[in-house]
Amino acid sequence: MMKKTQEQCYKCGDTSKNQLEELYGYTICNSCKSRLGLFLDPTIEKHVLSFRETKREDPTKPTYKEEVAFRLDCLDKDYISKKIKLLHIQDRINNLS
């Protein structure tokens, strides 16, 4: 597998400087960015309002901001768990060879 650098898209490896940008610490090309399905502000505002209404009805429910933070935390933990598992497999393969 080719190692990605800051001069190329993290996803596809595109190196066209005029097509690359940094997004939250990751280098990404315009093509891959357009396929991420990033929310526009009106969509985010709609979700904020929806969660706000739900929280009004049930104060134990999270706000949209809290929900996003929770999901990011879960994602980080899941990523670490999967990476540990794959590193373990890689280590075992190296030791078995």
In this predicted model, what pLDDT tens digit does every residue of 35-91 receive, in sequence order?
Answer: 999 999 999 999 999 999 999 999 999 999 999 999 999 999 999 999 999 999 999
Same-domain pairing of 85 and 75? yes
Same-domain pairing of 48 and 85? yes
Which whole-number Å values give the CA distances from 69 to 72, 84, 85, 92, in the listed order? 5, 23, 25, 35
Same-domain pairing of 14 and 53? no
Q: What is the pTM of this model?
A: 0.82
Residue with tokens 């809290």: 66
Overall number of domains in the chain: 2
- pLDDT value at residue 97: 79
3, pLDDT greater than 60: no
Domain that includes residue 92, residue range:
39-96
